[in-house]
């Protein structure tokens, strides 16, 4: 992959959406919710004010409307500022 985030940005591969409920019902595509967790794929160098606290491979939680969706080589990613990440798992 040739995407390298700049500044304090992070590239995240979202976890796949749930296909079934806990009770076994299949969720149609129109009713699936966007996942709010994912894996960090690339991290920017940070800035003089912002030290990067996440690293490649971390599982993170982020807000529902955080980041910008991008498509690289047919795979959907999110790119967002580190401050949009809520927690690491």
CATH 3.40.190.10, applies to 9-16+28-88: no
Quote the radius of gyration of the chain (alpha carbons, Å): 14
Residue-level pLDDT at 58 = 95
Rounded Cα gap, residues 13 and 21, in angstroms: 22
The first and second tokens of residue 2, run together, are 């040739």
SS3 (DSSP) at 78: strand
Residue-level pLDDT at 56 = 94
The answer to whether 10 and 80 are in contact (CB under 8 A) is: yes
Say how many residues make up the chain: 89
Residue-level pLDDT at 32 = 65
pTM for the model stands at 0.82
Domain ranges of the chain: 9-16+28-88
Does 3 score more than 70 pLDDT? yes
Residue-level pLDDT at 1 = 67
SS3 (DSSP) at 82: helix
Query: Mean pLDDT across the stretch 69-89?
Result: 94
The answer to whether 46 and 40 are in contact (CB under 8 A) is: no
The 10s digit of each residue's pLDDT in 8-62 is 999 999 998 777 777 777 777 676 667 789 999 999 999 999 999 999 999 999 9
């Amino acid at each position: 992959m040739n995407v390298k985030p700049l500044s304090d940005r992070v590239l995240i591969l979202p976890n796949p959406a749930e296909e079934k409920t806990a009770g076994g019902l299949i969720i149609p595509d129109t009713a699936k919710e966007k996942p709010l967790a994912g894996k960090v794929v690339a991290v920017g160098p940070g800035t003089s004010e912002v030290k990067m606290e996440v690293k490649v491979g971390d599982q993170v939680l982020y807000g529902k409307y955080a980041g910008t969706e991008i498509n690289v080589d047919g795979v959907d990613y999110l790119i967002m500022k580190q401050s949009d990440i809520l927690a690491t798992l």
